[in-house]
Amino acid sequence: MESIESLTFAQQQRLRFIESMVLWEGVVQRQRVCDVFRVNPNHVTRDIQIYKRQFPKSLEYNPSARAYEPGAKFAPRLASGDPSEYLALLLAYAESQSVAMLPVLGGDRHLVEALPTPTNSVGQYVLRCVIKATRHGKALEVLYNSMSYDQPTRRTLWPHALVHVGFQWHIRAYDGLRNEFRNFAIQRIAEVNVSEQRSAVPSSEDGDWHGKLRVEIMPNPRLNPHQQGIVAKEYGMKKNPDGWVWSENIRRCLVGYFAVHYRLDQAVRDRMSIDGDAHPQGIPVIPKDPDQLKPYLFGATLQCE
């Protein structure tokens, strides 16, 4: 009997999609799989037959709906079963509104909505150059609009990673102007060319990229116990003897963005401006150790040009 492991990568991807749709939506039609992967119905039929032989009673065909539904022994074997996987798919469509994703969503463009975000101002040529330099260890000769200067500056950057910080895409790069590693917003690159010039400093020496800080977040003590329990669940916190906590190991060069994204910077600054024992109002979570974050807040250190 042909096993799942012996299938091609494309076949496994189709079965993973089928399984995900059955798990979260309770149904998947063969034509939908054809539209998403651009294959003919015979391919999908064969894939499903293999799956049903491997996992009996996992899928049942509903003739009236002309679709497959979960069987008596259905369980995700290829899909992760993680809700974030499906929600990320919905968010990607909500933010992009791309018609290319409609088959993935079953053609229902009214299924999901999201708050508007600023239009992505990254130029196509800029992004191609950034990806090429990052992947192949090349340099970028750029005209960059830095918040630290009154006019655009020309500089040479050696990027080694792309980072999404919740509202922008950045590159982590060695900066030939300042002779150190920094974060650069791709949207601020006005002109760019790829150069063969090699960096004198390898990315392995980027200590703030490779070094991590363990940050612990807890519900704001100003909340009552019921409210703290709600916040703990929303943030996936674990309970220990000291109470609810969410712990993450974060690259040191990204701690400032993490603090801004979850308003931890406001919690730290409010605490500093009032007194050492005060907790800010209107913020659901605060850092367990505010002093730990002080050196990483924007203003305390220049993390992004």
What pTM, to 2 d.p., does this model score?
0.78
Q: Collapse the DSSP code of 83 into the 3-class scheme (helix H, G, I; strand E, B; otherwise coil) and give the result.
A: helix
- Distance (Å, whole) CA 158 – CA 179: 11
pLDDT of residue 33: 87
pLDDT of residue 121: 80
- Distance (Å, whole) CA 24 – CA 2: 27
- Identify whether the C-beta of residue 137 lies closer than 8 Å to the C-beta of residue 159: no
User: pLDDT tens digits for 120-150?
Assistant: 788 899 999 999 999 999 999 999 999 888 9
pLDDT of residue 17: 86
pLDDT of residue 98: 62
User: pLDDT tens digits for 205-242?
Assistant: 999 999 999 999 999 999 999 999 999 999 999 999 98
Kind of pairing, strands 180-185 and 169-175? antiparallel
Handedness of CA 37, 42, 43, 49 (dihedral sign): positive
Rounded to 5°, the CA angle 116-118-122 comes to 140
- Identify whether the C-beta of residue 157 lies closer than 8 Å to the C-beta of residue 140: yes
pLDDT of residue 131: 95
pLDDT of residue 299: 64
- Distance (Å, whole) CA 289 – CA 77: 41
Q: Which helix (H) or strand (E) holds 215?
A: strand 212-219
Report mean pLDDT in 10-residue bins for the chain, 305 residues. 76 88 89 86 90 92 92 89 81 66 60 73 92 95 92 96 89 95 94 91 95 96 93 93 94 93 86 56 88 83 65
